[in-house]
Amino acid sequence: MHEPLTRLRRSVLFVPASNEKALKKSAALACDAVIFDLEDAVASEEKAEARERLRAFLSGPGRPQCEVVIRINTLSGEWGTEDLLAARAVKPDAILLPKVDGPRDILDAGAALDETDAPRSLSLWAMMETPRSLLNAGPIAELGRDPAARLACLVAGTNDLVKETGIAPGPGRTNLLPWLMQLVLAARAGNLTVLDGVSNDFRELEAFARECAEARGMGFDGKTLIHPAQIASANAAFAPTKEEVEEAKAIVAEFAKPENRFRGVVSLNGRMVERLHLEMAEGLLAKAKQIKEKGE
């Protein structure tokens, strides 16, 4: 399985910027990243107040140590530009753009950040949640190859996709799968991380664990979450298993033998193992190490 060496993004929790209690709680949670939301989780009447609350919170001592992302409103709408400037001022790791339709949306946001002399380390993430975003997934993801474009991560916006297309997701999200798989493919083409959409039924933890396991099998790096109760499942599902770690170590050990030094392919427990498997094993072990270093 593909394991890009990047920041861990197994569990990425949405926290509404309008919810003071949730903001305070966010620093104590074991998620890999937090997305502070100024968009759909905040009512129109509360936009300005939520923006100010978030600014104050992230400038204070309660700011989480994990990766901090801020989802702003669309730049073409009433609040987006002020959101972007406020976000820029509190130095998040990334700004998440909602309702991206095509590469132009990423380029415009990048240009707006360049105008503020934002450091290159400030990334853009893209919500992939409109029909156009899915049709344009290739050209959008291609921007991941250009560091000047800042694009680092694609996020499946499954609730909006359901709304915009009129589909019923179906049991096991059957009807969404082709689009989700397309998104994973696009992300890999652009060297981006890719996160699965949220699961709305936050009390159904068994079904959630299954959905996480499926998402990992589909190639997602992690899952976006709406509730703290979902964090543990996502962290477990998107981490290498003990068996995978053992197998990866065995592959590394096999290729490290002097007699295999110049061999492209070896046999291990009745299976053909190539150097591409060695690369995968090394990636998996690096990820396991990152998780261990996090204290898990």
Q: Which residues sit at the interface with ligand COA, rule CB under 6 A? A: 13-16, 21-22, 25-26, 37, 40-41, 198, 202, 226-228
Between 226 and 251, CB nearer to Mg ion: 226
Select 41 or 273, whichever has its Cβ closest to Mg ion.
41
Sign of torsion, CA 220 226 228 230?
negative
Residue 41 partner contact from ligand COA, Mg ion, none using kind-dependent CB cut-offs of 5 to 8 Å: ligand COA
The yes or no reply on residue 196 touching Mg ion (CB under 5 A) is no
- Subset of residues 125 to 144 that bind Mg ion, contact rule: CB under 5 A: 129
Nearest residue (CB) to ligand COA, 14 versus 238? 14
Nearest distance from residue 100's CB to Mg ion, in Å? 10
Which of 160, 221, 244, 254 forms a contact with Mg ion (CB under 5 A)? 160
- CA nearest neighbour of 34 among 3, 1, 63, 2: 63
Q: How far is CA 184 from CA 48, 246, 271, in A?
A: 35, 26, 27
Min dist CB 148 to ligand COA, Å, is 29
Question: If you ran DSSP here, which 8-state letter would residue 68 be given?
Answer: E
In the complex with ligand COA, which residue's Cβ is closer, 22 or 278?
Answer: 22
> Which residue, 22 or 143, is less far from ligand COA as judged by CB?
22
- Identify the CA nearest to 17 among candidates 41, 34, 1, 33: 41
Pick one of Mg ion, ligand COA, none as the site partner of residue 160 (Cβ within 5 to 8 A by kind): Mg ion
CB of 20 to ligand COA, least distance (A): 9
Inter-residue contact 192 to 219 (CB < 8 Å): no
Answer whether 88's CB lies under 8 Å from 52's CB. no
Question: Checking phi first, is residue 29 left (phi over 0); if not, alpha (psi -120 to 50) or beta?
Answer: beta
Site residues, Mg ion (CB under 5 A): 129, 157, 160
